[in-house]
Copies of this chain bind each other. A is one copy, B any other.
Amino acid sequence: MGRDYQRMVSDAVRITELLCRQPSVSAEQRALDETADLVEELLAGVGFETQQLRAEASAPAVYGERRGRSDFTLLLYNHYDVQPADPLDLWESEPFEPTVRDGKLFARGTSDNKAELAVRLAVLRALLDEEGELPVHVKWIVEGEEEIGSANFDAIVRENAALLRADGALWEGGAARLPDGRPDVALGFKGMLNVRLDVTALATDAHSSLEAIAPSAPWRLVQALASIRDRDGTVRVSGFYDAVVPPTDAERAALAAASDSDEDQLRETLGIDRFDDGLTGAALWERASFRPTSNLAGFHSGYGGPGIKTVLPAAASAWLDFRLVPDQEADAIFELIRAHLEREGFSDVEATKLGAATPAKTPLDDPFVRRVIDVAEAVCGEPASVTPLAAATLPIVASFRDHLGVPGLSAPDNPFYAGSNAHAPNEHIRLEDVEPALRFTYELLRALGSA
């Protein structure tokens, strides 16, 4: 196309490095205000009207907008916060000193998701340089609490719904290129319900001989948990599946086409011979996408050291996360679990809701989805991989749906790949993935402006 993508790449990498020097770890409340100010300055630098939005006690979300040539309003979402860097001793270079090695840029936050923010910014600069205006109206919100669950983001969106109204949204991105070369699009994410169960049976740990006559906290918790889920993984809580909407035939077909060849790689990483029920291929990924989970993230009680300690533990606790699919509602599911425990005679098991996110997806046949996919396929020269519902969770998606009603997706504008070590030591992007991300973003903005 003759456009100066090399300059855009240099721009994007430089902005990524600038952002990644900020240790904006939300879990540690580190450098959040400084990074918000930096992001606001970068947006102001491309002529955005900016402000910082907050809900009570939240880290600031940076908001900016700039009018463009056409009436189409595009809403961009990013987050400037990152995961903690520890364990530090596993990093080969300092996590907050961006370092290029072997064609890769290493730093905490590169792939999740400061490089995507930088790609979008570099494209906006290039468009303004070339044409003096943007092809579409752009609204951009960059929050600072994504890595701790976006707990305040829903309130921010609700309170600023009029400001944020748009015709289409790009969420945090998928991968610019899958291993087979296809661009990666995701239209929805599972919800989440985090529950802690606690049993306190005794005032103090006791001699284990007393188990003959006194209640056992860990046994009560084992039995409460066993009542919640069958051996085959089916949740036994009455009503749990009532709101589940099965995938449409079109979603099934898209998912089958999206299924790539990571299957062997994933089995190897997990060290397993087979997935549950021996599933493979499309059936496996359909299960991963459309089955709500009931994960037991932790269980702790009593002794856990070498040898023997004959103790009757006073207390036991379990940490669960349920990943929900449309149209399961986290709060409603929590009440079903509470009712289940009560009905099954486990009123001694205390349930606490630690977190809740609603599942949400944009329909496969939404016109905005179609336009994004068309651009991605034109730029890439490959059919897109379209995931109707991803197995992971992105709480902001439900906020956008519920308060703005805006169709959105995760687009291939992120120089991320499966080996990026997001959330892990030695997080990085491959420099070769920056240009495809830029090309897609540039062409999408032009296409949306000319429609």
Which residues of A approach B to under 8 Å, CB–CB?
A: 149, 190, 192, 194, 201-204, 206-216, 218-219, 221-223, 225-226, 229, 231, 233, 266, 269-272, 275-276, 279, 284, 287-288, 291-304, 307-313, 316-317, 319, 321, 323, 345, 354-355, 391-393
Give chain B residues whose Cβ lies under 8 Å from the Cβ of A201.
Answer: 272
> Are B203's CB and A308's CB within 8 A?
no
Q: 30 interchain pairs (CB within 8 A)? A: A190-B209, A192-B310, A203-B270, A203-B271, A204-B271, A209-B293, A210-B266, A211-B294, A212-B276, A212-B287, A213-B288, A214-B275, A216-B295, A218-B296, A218-B298, A219-B225, A222-B222, A222-B225, A222-B226, A223-B231, A231-B345, A297-B303, A297-B312, A298-B301, A299-B299, A299-B300, A302-B319, A308-B354, A310-B321, A310-B393
What is the total number of copies of this protein in its complex? 2
- Cα-based distance from A212 to B286 in the complex (angstroms): 10
Given A269-B204, A323-B208, A354-B307; A216-B302 close (CB under 8 Å): no
> Are B218's CB and A308's CB within 8 A?
no
- Cα-based distance from A204 to B317 in the complex (angstroms): 22
Give chain B residues whose Cβ lies under 8 Å from the Cβ of A303.
Answer: 297-298, 319
A230 and chain B: residue at smallest CB distance: B223
- Which residue of B202, B279, B287 contacts A271 across the interface (Cβ within 8 Å)? B202
Given contacts A209-B391, A304-B317, 12 further A-B contacts (CB under 8 A): A202-B271, A203-B271, A204-B271, A210-B266, A210-B270, A214-B272, A218-B299, A219-B296, A223-B226, A223-B231, A295-B312, A297-B313
> Are A308's CB and B355's CB within 8 A?
yes
A319 and chain B: residue at smallest CB distance: B303
> Are B298's CB and A215's CB within 8 A?
no
Shortest distance between the CB of A181 and any CB in chain B (Å): 25
A317 and chain B: residue at smallest CB distance: B304
Give chain B residues whose Cβ lies under 8 Å from the Cβ of A271.
Answer: 202-204
- Cα-based distance from A214 to B211 in the complex (angstroms): 35
> Are B270's CB and A206's CB within 8 A?
yes
- Cα-based distance from A301 to B317 in the complex (angstroms): 11
Shortest distance between the CB of A269 and any CB in chain B (Å): 7
